[in-house]
Chain A
């Protein structure tokens, strides 16, 4: 880096930057936020830099979540790692198992002498990223949870109400289709919404060992009758167009915003896109309850990404990083981030501040995610999941679920296949994580 700098810092502008930065300690932050959220990331860093003159946080966009994580891994292997890297929630087990590579946030803050109060954080948000004994490993940054988005105009026109249970989802979908809509409902991020969150919402275990929290020798149990029955019913609903599959991730968003589907289950963080694109009244409601599985919902789990500190830097730099973490989780910053992006706030103070500022009154429904996450105290089944190789396992689940939607196999077969292939990947991971 220094060699290349010397060779290529040809322009005067670069030279000026280099000398200005030399006086301060630089902290590198690799992130995966493209688009407008990327601008917000830059603003956070810029505001922090302006708030003090000892440290400079330098955010760098490194591609999507997988590209950012791989870039950090490659950099670590070459001893060029950043101080801070944004990793999506499914990478948690991989990061956590790499004990020599990561610097647990809570420990880093303690070592740097920076005060840290674990109780200030929303339990449902941080529980995903804690050790079983409650140590915070990484700092939640952009967290969301799946909610039920609905087209209020379409529901009104069809004379249907917002569903609270899966039976009602079916009747509402039927009413929408009868009223001329092309599809009743759809969803995205299917493993996250329909397997991981469905299980947590109904207090079902995804795998043994408390969803992997207490040991690497975990095995999947999501291939149970309850999940299978639910998925099978959804697959059967395709016949009357009550359900239409629209792709992985957020690929099905246009189906909802263009008025093809009246309901859509996906991340609460699509709020910004909805405001920009939907030309109808829309709302968000809690996920539907499957009354044949549970009598009341537990709580949903989060998705999104957290910030991991990496080992191998000077202690002075970690001091700066700790200060930045404090700044990042301050109520002002969190409330702003929450209101701008639709991600949930990570501290109770930020949620309260948002309420005080009247955000939820002027934007009805935006507190659905927080309500859903903090509905109950998380149980072993609903605080999150910690499976290794989960990036690949999600792909496996995607593949099997797609085979189900295409009518090639039954729901029970799809789940059994997914669990079997997933378990093989878990065993592979177990061997590398010691």
Chain B
């Protein structure tokens, strides 16, 4: 936590933390506490009539099947995105690691989707999968699949998973490649001399050695899928059809921003905040142990 060797107490550390603390208080803690207060209210959009209702908004959520259902969907979505993008990245990194020449070129070619805005990524995928115009439904028709993500909830879910995973492959690939390249060559050579083939070496030696990276990426990808995919869902399916792709963050946005149900949306924000803080503490503990040890 703190360096054993440190500077003596003075005014300086307060000045150093001041900018961040002030910004956090004004632009995070204050609005967040407003959200907590709002979660106890039922009010009209313009804030003209307000009624204090204690936990009624929360009780409503607890009895709302749509809301409870979105928990399961969020987890399913997050796991799929993480597994899909990480395994694709792992395979690509595994092959790129083998290659002496050209690895950097491949890296350059694989890295750029990271820079694409989620809204835009969503728009691109919708465009490619448009049931009438898109190139993929056109191809899928030849294998007898009638693609229609407007009607079919599974299609819609697959589409948002693809779009979300696609954006994250680049990031995962970078980490895996760097992790693999830092494995001492001598270790792999020793395994090769023992007669282990490339596939065996990958599974028995490389994969276990990059497991800290895997764990780290799992956390990052889960967080990404939980919170940062809002733009993708918004652009691709808007939560439909029949709520098939409504995940938690999207529901907060949709109820508050679109439906103008500020109390209900704030209550969902509060639940999310509690969730986030819990996750942060867990993640923090883990990283902390790793560093001190």
Contact = CB atoms under 8 A, between A and B. Distances in A.
Chain A directly contacts chain B within the complex, with at least one CB pair under 8 Å: yes
Interface residues of A, number: 40
**Majority secondary structure, B binding face:** loop
A431 to B, nearest CB: 6
B49 A77 contact: no
B55 to A, nearest CB: 15
Contact of B49 (A247, A400, A406, A433): A433
Contact of A406 (B48, B239, B242, B258): B242
Nearest to A431: B42
A245 B153 CA distance: 13
Contact of A247 (B47, B51, B150, B257): B150
B259 A246 contact: no
Interface string B122-133: 000000001111
Nearest to A311: B46
A76 B46 CA distance: 7
A398 interface: yes
* A interface, over-half SS: helix
B45 A73 contact: yes
A382 interface: no
Contact of A245 (B42, B151, B258, B259): B151
Contact of A432 (B51, B151, B238): B51
Contacts of B153: 406
Interface string A97-134: 11111000000000000000000000000000000000
Given A258-B132, A406-B241, A392 B42 contact: no
A428 B261 contact: yes
Interface residues of B, number: 31
A402 B51 contact: no
Contacts of B47: 76-77
Interface in B240-288: 240-243, 254-255, 257-261
Contacts of B133: 254, 258
B48 A100 contact: yes
Interface string A334-370: 0000000000000000000000000000000000000
A175 B125 CA distance: 35
A255 interface: yes
5 contacts: A69-B260, A247-B131, A247-B150, A391-B260, A406-B241
Given A391-B259, A399-B243, 20 more contacts: A66-B257, A77-B47, A94-B44, A94-B260, A97-B44, A98-B46, A100-B46, A101-B48, A251-B150, A254-B130, A254-B132, A254-B133, A255-B131, A255-B132, A399-B240, A402-B151, A402-B241, A406-B241, A432-B49, A433-B44
Interface of A: 66-67, 69-70, 73, 76-77, 94, 97-101, 245-248, 251-252, 254-255, 258, 260, 389, 391-392, 395, 398-400, 402-403, 405-406, 408, 428, 431-434
Nearest first, the 8 A-B pairs at minimum CB distance are: A247-B150, A432-B44, A402-B241, A392-B259, A402-B242, A254-B132, A98-B46, A101-B46
